[in-house]
């Protein structure tokens, strides 16, 4: 997968392989390597389903349950998105993963001047509950889970999800939502932040606390190493930063007087598959073990379930190329293979056209079929953790583990993740790694097929998703109509109550549900937060 450095001798013989994590791969591994790392089966691995869960969190792996397929979906108006959801479900997709447009992610309504040119572009436009009513119409919200890719305003969109479910006759206890709700990774890697760190983390905590009490099937946070890796971090940093970010959220909830075993089992992770295949597999196995140890040793959890790293392992979009785009189908299949070999709970792939723009139905279906093919034709469900016991994989897993522990310790020395991010340390580090990587690609040291090796041949034209201005106009018109026809007194009342709860530092979730049910807009609710919290100012890193 092109992310290792190969030092060659004459006749193309490989002298050394250096992984992005800095680990050197040897030409041969034997039992002596396991002796050297002090390999101890029960301590280092344990059986699948046993602490420290290196081999997986379930005894029978994919034999007991397929992994969930969850392609990132959403564009244009809620009508268009609803149609696409239904298409994917009818084709065997087992979970939803909702893409919101940038105005929604940033808390602006479709008619806000800041939203110009962006309405419905990279995801579905959502202004109010009306839009959710359309988007989730005729979808069995009690049986299909929905990932909501939303962070700064995750609280608002989760409240809206509850409101829509209740409107359609499902109770909040029945629905299973996974709002991403990870603001620290937005600051590090994805950029959809709004509020300063402290109140932003409070909102994350509000969502988690509310889910503990009211939404037992909901996973209130999906900690995303994915975007940090995509922004440039090494695989080691990806895991170290993700665990330390999760710790920041745990600390927030513990401060509210909860016990670790009351809530942490509902945490989930979204991690990236991009890089050398072996390094990826070792990374995921080490991550599972370190998360379990972290929860047990640092936080004193007692329940096994609290220690489970449940993960969406997603094929990395950054690995895809605009050059020879059909190659991306093959690349993604290998990313999916790595995820499956690593025991993912959920897998999603970027589609082959996503180096350009959001996917067409055609390309999204190829991604879904890639996952289904791996499950049903290739044999990835046959046995659990098939690579275990390999001299090489076990050595590498242990080496990755050591490096991740080192990186985590650096963050502790800096005073924890909130501080490290507030001061720009992490951002600086990630940007530096991104630059190093790019230099490696440009010099040809890191190989990208079609980009810096085997670049010839015909460049196939791909059919791309076209952005529709009409959808944006339609959305804005519908919003105007909503503002005219809703009970504006009720809107004002609910927003005022939200304002008070926010200032009084009361959990905002019930107030947001109330606002959503009154058809207050995402922009109006966010405005309340903006007025009280202000906006985040990026620390200078240049």
Binding string, residues 338-367; x marks residues near another protein by CB under 8 A: -----------------xxx----------
Beta-ladder partners of 100: 124
Question: Does the footprint of another protein cover residue 322 (CB under 8 A)?
Answer: yes
Comparison of 145 and 317: residue with beta carbon closer to another protein: 317
Nearest CA to 263 among 184, 206, 209?
Answer: 209
Comparison of 102 and 417: residue with beta carbon closer to another protein: 102
Three-state secondary structure of 123-190: CECCCCHHHHHHHCCCCCCCCCEEEECCCCCHHHHHHHHHHHHHHCCCCCCCCCEEECCCHHHHHHHH
Torsion of CA 157, 162, 167, 169, to 10 degrees: 150
- Reply yes or no: is the peptide bond before residue 52 cis, omega within 30 of 0: yes
> How many Cα neighbours within 13 Å face the side chain of 359?
24
DSSP conformational letter for 540: P
Of 74, 232, 314, 359, the one binding another protein by CB under 8 A: 232
User: Minimum distance from CB of 389 to another protein (Å)?
Assistant: 37
Beta-ladder partners of 146: 96, 177
Comparison of 115 and 309: residue with beta carbon closer to another protein: 115
Question: Does the footprint of another protein cover residue 376 (CB under 8 A)?
Answer: no
The answer to whether the beta carbons of residues 484 and 136 sit under 8 Å apart is: no
User: Minimum distance from CB of 55 to another protein (Å)?
Assistant: 34
- Binding region for another protein (CB under 8 A) out of 11-19, 229-237, 263-271, 503-511: 229-237
Binding string, residues 519-538; x marks residues near another protein by CB under 8 A: -------------------x
> Coil, helix or strand for 104?
helix
User: Minimum distance from CB of 124 to another protein (Å)?
Assistant: 15
Question: Does the footprint of another protein cover residue 542 (CB under 8 A)?
Answer: yes
Distance CA 285, CA 283 (A): 6
User: Minimum distance from CB of 284 to another protein (Å)?
Assistant: 23
Name residues contacting another protein, limited to 384-443 (CB under 8 A).
Answer: 431-432, 434-435, 438-439, 442
* 377 CB-contact burial (10 Å; exposed 0-12 / middle 13-18 / buried 19+): exposed
Question: Does the footprint of another protein cover residue 321 (CB under 8 A)?
Answer: yes
User: Minimum distance from CB of 111 to another protein (Å)?
Assistant: 15
- Reply yes or no: is the peptide bond before residue 166 cis, omega within 30 of 0: no
Binding string, residues 104-143; x marks residues near another protein by CB under 8 A: -xx-x-----xxxxx--xx---------------------
> Coil, helix or strand for 73?
strand
Of 134, 153, 183, 192, the one binding another protein by CB under 8 A: 192
Nearest CA to 401 among 522, 268, 235?
Answer: 235
Binding string, residues 450-479; x marks residues near another protein by CB under 8 A: -x------------x--x------------
The answer to whether the beta carbons of residues 375 and 66 sit under 8 Å apart is: yes
Please report the beta strands in 381-444, taking only residues with DSSP state E, as ranges in sequence order: none
- DSSP percent split of the chain into helix, strand, coil, nearest 5: 55, 10, 40
User: Minimum distance from CB of 357 to another protein (Å)?
Assistant: 6
> Coil, helix or strand for 465?
coil
User: Minimum distance from CB of 12 to another protein (Å)?
Assistant: 25
User: Minimum distance from CB of 326 to another protein (Å)?
Assistant: 17
Question: Does the footprint of another protein cover residue 193 (CB under 8 A)?
Answer: yes
Q: What Å distances lie between residue 180 and 147, 177, 484, CA to CA?
A: 7, 9, 32
User: Minimum distance from CB of 117 to another protein (Å)?
Assistant: 4
Comparison of 183 and 344: residue with beta carbon closer to another protein: 183
Question: Does the footprint of another protein cover residue 447 (CB under 8 A)?
Answer: no
Contacts with another protein by CB under 8 A: the residue count is 41
Question: Does the footprint of another protein cover residue 224 (CB under 8 A)?
Answer: no
Comparison of 2 and 103: residue with beta carbon closer to another protein: 103
User: Minimum distance from CB of 443 to another protein (Å)?
Assistant: 10
Comparison of 186 and 499: residue with beta carbon closer to another protein: 186
- Binding region for another protein (CB under 8 A) out of 3-11, 34-42, 138-146, 320-328: 320-328
Nearest CA to 404 among 1, 17, 18, 23?
Answer: 23
The answer to whether the beta carbons of residues 329 and 368 sit under 8 Å apart is: no
Distance CA 97, CA 155 (A): 17
Q: Which residues bind another protein (CB under 8 A)?
A: 102-103, 105-106, 108, 114-118, 121-122, 186, 189-193, 230-232, 318, 321-323, 355-357, 431-432, 434-435, 438-439, 442, 451, 464, 467, 538, 541-542
């Amino acid at each position: 997968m092109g992310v290792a450095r190969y030092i060659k001798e004459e006749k193309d013989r490989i002298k050394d392989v250096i992984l992005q994590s800095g680990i050197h791969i040897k030409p041969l591994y034997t039992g002596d390597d396991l002796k050297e790392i002090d390999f101890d089966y029960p301590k280092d691995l344990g059986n699948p389903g046993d602490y420290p869960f290196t081999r997986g969190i379930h005894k029978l792996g994919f034999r007991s349950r397929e992994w969930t397929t969850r392609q990132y979906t959403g564009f244009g108006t809620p009508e268009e998105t609803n149609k696409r959801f239904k298409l994917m479900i009818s084709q065997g997709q087992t979970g939803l993963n909702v893409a919101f447009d940038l105005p929604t992610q940033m808390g602006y309504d479709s008619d806000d001047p800041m939203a110009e040119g962006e309405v419905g572009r990279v995801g579905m436009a959502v202004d109010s509950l009306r839009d959710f009513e359309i988007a989730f119409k005729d979808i069995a919200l009690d049986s299909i889970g929905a990932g909501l890719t939303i962070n700064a305003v995750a609280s608002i969109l989760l409240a809206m999800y509850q409101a829509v479910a209740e409107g359609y006759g499902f109770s909040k206890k029945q629905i299973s939502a996974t709002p991403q709700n990870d603001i620290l990774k937005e600051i590090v890697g994805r950029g959809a932040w709004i509020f300063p760190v402290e109140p932003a983390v409070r909102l994350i905590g509000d969502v988690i606390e509310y889910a503990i009490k009211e939404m037992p099937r909901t996973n209130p946070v999906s900690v995303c190493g994915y975007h940090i890796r995509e922004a440039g971090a090494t695989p080691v940093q990806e895991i170290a930063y993700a665990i330390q970010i999760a710790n920041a959220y745990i600390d927030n909830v513990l401060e509210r007087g909860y016990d670790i075993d009351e809530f942490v089992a509902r945490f989930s992770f979204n991690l990236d598959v991009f890089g050398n295949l072996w390094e990826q597999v070792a990374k995921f196995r080490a991550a599972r073990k370190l998360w379990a140890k972290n929860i047990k040793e640092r936080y004193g959890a007692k329940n096994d379930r609290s220690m489970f790293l449940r993960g969406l392992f997603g094929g990395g979009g950054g690995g895809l190329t605009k050059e020879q785009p059909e190659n991306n189908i093959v690349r993604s299949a290998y990313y999916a293979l790595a995820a499956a070999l690593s025991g993912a709970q959920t897998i999603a792939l970027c589609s082959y056209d996503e180096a350009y723009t959001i996917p067409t139905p055609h390309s999204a279906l190829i991604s879904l079929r890639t996952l289904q093919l791996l499950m049903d034709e290739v044999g990835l469900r046959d046995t659990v953790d098939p690579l275990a016991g390999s001299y090489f994989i076990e050595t590498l897993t242990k080496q990755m583990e050591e490096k991740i522990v080192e990186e985590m310790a650096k963050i502790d020395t800096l005073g924890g993740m909130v501080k490290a991010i507030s001061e720009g340390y992490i951002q600086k580090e990630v940007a530096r790694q991104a630059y190093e990587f790019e230099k490696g690609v440009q010099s040809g040291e890191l190989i990208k097929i079609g980009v810096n090796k085997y670049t010839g041949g015909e460049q196939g034209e791909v059919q791309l998703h076209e952005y529709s201005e009409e959808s944006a106009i339609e959305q804005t018109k519908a919003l105007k109509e909503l503002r005219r026809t809703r009970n504006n007194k009720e809107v004002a009342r609910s927003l005022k109550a939200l304002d008070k709860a926010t200032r009084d530092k009361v959990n905002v979730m019930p107030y947001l549900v109330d606002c959503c049910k009154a058809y207050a807009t995402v922009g109006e609710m966010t405005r309340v937060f903006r007025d009280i919290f202000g906006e985040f100012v990026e620390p200078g890193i240049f």
